[in-house]
Structure 1
Amino acid sequence: MEHDLLATSWTWAGDEPISERVHVVGAAGFAGLSLSLDDLHEVRATTGFAELRRMLDGAGIVWVQLGPLDRWWTCTSRTDDDAADRGVVLEAAAALRAWQVIARADTTLPGASPITMADDWTVLADQAAAVGAQLVLEPEPWSNLPTIERASRFVVAAGHPNGGLLLDAMHTLRGGSTLASIRQAVAPATLAAVELSDGLLHTPAGMTLSEEAREARYLPGAGAWDLPGLVRTVRELGFDEPWGVEVRTPGHRAMPIGDALRTAAAATRAVLDAADAYGAPAAPAMPSSPAPTSAVDFEPPHPRTDPRGRTHWGSHRPAGRRDADTGTPA
C-alpha cells in the first residue's frame, strides 16, 4: 500500500538553497513538507511565494504545512516579530495553497489557563479559513496544554469548524499518553495531522524533554515506541494521510540531505507497512517436494538396454521396488 509522507521542517533542514532542498524532498518520495517561519521570511524577501509554488509543483509536493505560530493569543509578551510571523504565514498560506497552519500552545506560562486563549483561537481559525488553510494545535508536554487529550478538549470547547489537532508522537508519548488514552479521550473530529518519530524508552539522562525533542527524535522504527500501534490507533479515530516524519538527531543532520530524506522515508514506510500487516492472514507455507523417508527407500536410476543394444537412462523404472544395496526385490 502506498502512503503520502510529509517531511517536517527539521527533517529537510539544511544549508542548501531552498529550491534544491524542495527538489530533494520530492525525489526522496515525499508528497508534502512543512515550511518553517525562517523559510517563509527568506522566500518572501527573495524569490517570492509564487516562484516557491512553482518549485513545489515541479517536485510533486501537494501537502504544505506552515509554522508553527507562537504567542497568537493576547499576552504581554507578544512582540512585533510575532505579528510579522502571523502576517507572513497567512500571506504564504494563500499563495502556496497551504493545507494547514500550525499553532503552538503557551510554553512561557505552562500554568496559564487555556480558557483565556479560546477567543484568540477562534480569530486565528477564521483567518486561516479565509486563506484556505486549516488551523491545527500542537500540544507540548512543557506547555499549558501538555497532553493530546487536554488539547482535544480545548479544540472541542472552542467549537470552531476550522480548528484541529496535531498529534506529535514524541510530544504525545512523553506527555504521558497511552494508546488506550488516545483512543478513549481524543475526539475523532479534532485529529487533523500526525507526526511520527521514535525515541528511547526513557528520556536520556541529563536531557530535558524539550532538549530530547530537539536532539533525540530517531528514525521511525529505530527506537522503543510502538509506532505501528500508534498508527493503528489514529486510523481507528479516522486519520488517514499524510504521515508527517520528524527526525532530529546529530547523525541525521550530518548525512547528505538526499540520503537523510531517503532513509527517513524508507524507515517510515516500514512502520506503516507493519501497521498495514497487523491482523492480516499469515502467508501460506512454501510448497515442498516429496522426499524419500530413508536412504533404504531411495532407488537410483538404472540404465536399460533396448533390443538394438542402445542404453537409456531414467526413462523406465523396473516394475518392482528393489533394495538399494542388494538389488533384490524389496
Structure 2
Amino acid sequence: MEEHDLLATSWTWAGPEPVRERIRAVADAGFAGIALALDDLHEVRATTGLADLRRMLDDAGVVWVQLGTLGDWWSTTSRSDQDADRGVVLEAAATLRAWQVVVRADDSVPGVSLAVMAEAWERLAVQAEGVGARLVLEPEPWSNLATVERASRFVAAGHPNGGLLLDAMHALRGGSTLASIAQGVAPSALAAVELTDGLLHTPNGMTLADESRDGRYLPGTGAWDLPGFVRTARGLGFDEPWGVEVRTPALRAMPLRDALRIAAAATRAVLDAADAHGGPPAPAMPTSAAPTSAVDFDASRPPVAPVTPLAADGIVPRRTGPASSAYRDGHD
C-alpha cells in the first residue's frame, strides 16, 4: 500500500508531558504533521521561544504545521485575550513556517452576522497570507455555519487564501452525506481533512459538543464509512496530509506514545482500505437527526467570484503569560 502523510491534531497529541517530549512521540509514531493549540503556542513563546519550537519540529522531521483553533476573530471590540491569541498565531505562523491557521465559526446567541464575519475573514486571510499560511475554517454543527456545504459557500465567496476544513464528525453530525459533500463542497475551497470515527447516533446524555470532545473513536472502529469519506475527499482533489483527531476517555488514559501509535495504525488501515477500493464511494454516511442537521446547499448555484481583499492589519499585541494545556484532562 502507498505511504500517506498523517497530521496529529492538537487533541490527539495533547498531554501533561513537555512539548519537546510530545513532539518526539508524534514523530516516532509516524506522523509527518502536527497541529499546535493556542495554549501550547502561548506557553512555548513565553518559555523556550518559538524559534526553539521550530528547531524541535525540524529535528523530529515534522513537515506540516497547523495552528489554531482561533475563535471570535470577527469581533471589532478589542479584548486582551482575543488580541493575544491572534497575535501569537500570526507570529507563530511566520516563525514556524506554518501550513495553515484554523479558525472556528460563531456559536454565540444571537450570534454575529455572516456579513460581519465575511469582512473579518477577508482581513484575516490577507494577514495569514502575509506570513505564508492559509486561513482555514472549521464548521461545527452548533455554529452559525453548521454544515460543510454552507461553510464551503462562505469560503468560496471570499479571499482565495481561505479554505475549508472537512472534519468527519462535524460533517456527519451536521447532517451531511458523502453525496452532499461531493456535490456541495467546492474543490477549490477544500484545504484540510480530519478523520475520526463515531457511533451511529450521538450517545444519550451528550450534546454534539460533548461528543466532539469525548466521543472521537479510532478510525475504523466506529459506525461510519471512513474509506468512502476518504474517497469523497480525494474526488474533490484533496491529497494529504490526513488529519487524525481521536479523543475518548480510554485513549486519554493510555500512555501518549501508545495512543499515538495506535491512532496512526488505525488511520493507515482506513487509508489502505480506501486505496484498495476501486468503486465509487458509498452514497451516504449514517446520520442522526439534530436541530442543525438539515443539509444546506444548492448544487445548481454558480460559484461566487472572490471579493477584493481588504488591506492587512498589523500584528496585534500578545499575551505575556503562559497558558497551561488541559486538553487531555477533558477541557475544550
Taking structure 1 as the reference length, the TM-score comes to 0.83
Which residue of structure 1 lines up, in the alignment, with residue 219 of structure 2? 220
**Cα distance in 2, alignment partners of residues 235 and 241 from structure 1:** 9
Which residue of structure 1 lines up, in the alignment, with residue 191 of structure 2? 192
Taking structure 2 as the reference length, the TM-score comes to 0.82
Which residue of structure 1 lines up, in the alignment, with residue 262 of structure 2? 263
Gaps in structure 2 of 5+ consecutive residues? 280-332
Q: Does the alignment pair 1:145 with 2:145? A: yes
Which residue of structure 2 lines up, in the alignment, with residue 130 of structure 1? 130
Which residue of structure 2 lines up, in the alignment, with residue 80 of structure 1? 80
Which residue of structure 2 lines up, in the alignment, with residue 298 of structure 1? none
**Cα distance in 2, alignment partners of residues 94 and 214 from structure 1:** 29
Question: Map of 1:30-179 to 2, 5 A cutoff?
Answer: 30-74=31-75, 79-109=79-109, 112-158=112-158, 160-179=159-178
1:139-163 Cα shifts (integer Å, max 9, x gaps) = 00000000000000001112x1100
- Contact 1:217–1:247 at 8 Å: present in 2 too? yes
Q: Using the TM superposition, give the Cα deviation of residue 89 of structure 1 relative to its aligned residue in structure 2, in angstroms.
A: 0.3
The count of residues paired between Structure 1 and Structure 2 equals 278
**Cα distance in 2, alignment partners of residues 198 and 271 from structure 1:** 10
**Cα distance in 2, alignment partners of residues 237 and 131 from structure 1:** 27
1:241-279 Cα shifts (integer Å, max 9, x gaps) = 000000010111111111000000000000000000002
1:121-175 Cα shifts (integer Å, max 9, x gaps) = 00000000000000000000000000000000001112x1100000111001000
1:44-68 Cα shifts (integer Å, max 9, x gaps) = 0001011111110111100000001
1:61-120 Cα shifts (integer Å, max 9, x gaps) = 0000000110000355x6210110000000000000000000100011365432221110
| RMSD (CA atoms) | 1.1
Runs of 4+ in 1 over 4 A off after TM superposition: none
User: Counterpart of 2:157 in 1: which secondary structure?
Assistant: helix
Amino acid at match of 1:268: T
Larger deviation, residues 104-113 vs 18-27: 104-113
Larger deviation, residues 31-40 vs 112-121: 112-121
Gaps in structure 1 of 5+ consecutive residues? 281-330
User: Counterpart of 2:164 in 1: which secondary structure?
Assistant: strand
**Cα distance in 1, alignment partners of residues 172 and 189 from structure 2:** 18
**Cα distance in 2, alignment partners of residues 75 and 45 from structure 1:** 26
- Contact 1:109–1:143 at 8 Å: present in 2 too? no
Amino acid at match of 2:253: A
**Cα distance in 2, alignment partners of residues 48 and 187 from structure 1:** 38
**Cα distance in 2, alignment partners of residues 60 and 109 from structure 1:** 43
**Cα distance in 2, alignment partners of residues 204 and 75 from structure 1:** 38
User: Counterpart of 2:234 in 1: which secondary structure?
Assistant: helix
**Cα distance in 2, alignment partners of residues 26 and 48 from structure 1:** 20
**Cα distance in 2, alignment partners of residues 85 and 268 from structure 1:** 31
* Identical-pair percentage: 74
Structure with more relative contact order (C-alpha pairs < 8 Å, separation 6 or more): 2
**Cα distance in 2, alignment partners of residues 180 and 68 from structure 1:** 28
Q: Does the alignment pair 1:20 with 2:21? A: yes
Question: Map of 1:251-290 to 2, 5 A cutoff?
Answer: 251-279=250-278
Which residue of structure 1 lines up, in the alignment, with residue 247 of structure 2? 248
**Cα distance in 1, alignment partners of residues 267 and 115 from structure 2:** 36
- Contact 1:69–1:102 at 8 Å: present in 2 too? yes
- Contact 1:101–1:133 at 8 Å: present in 2 too? yes
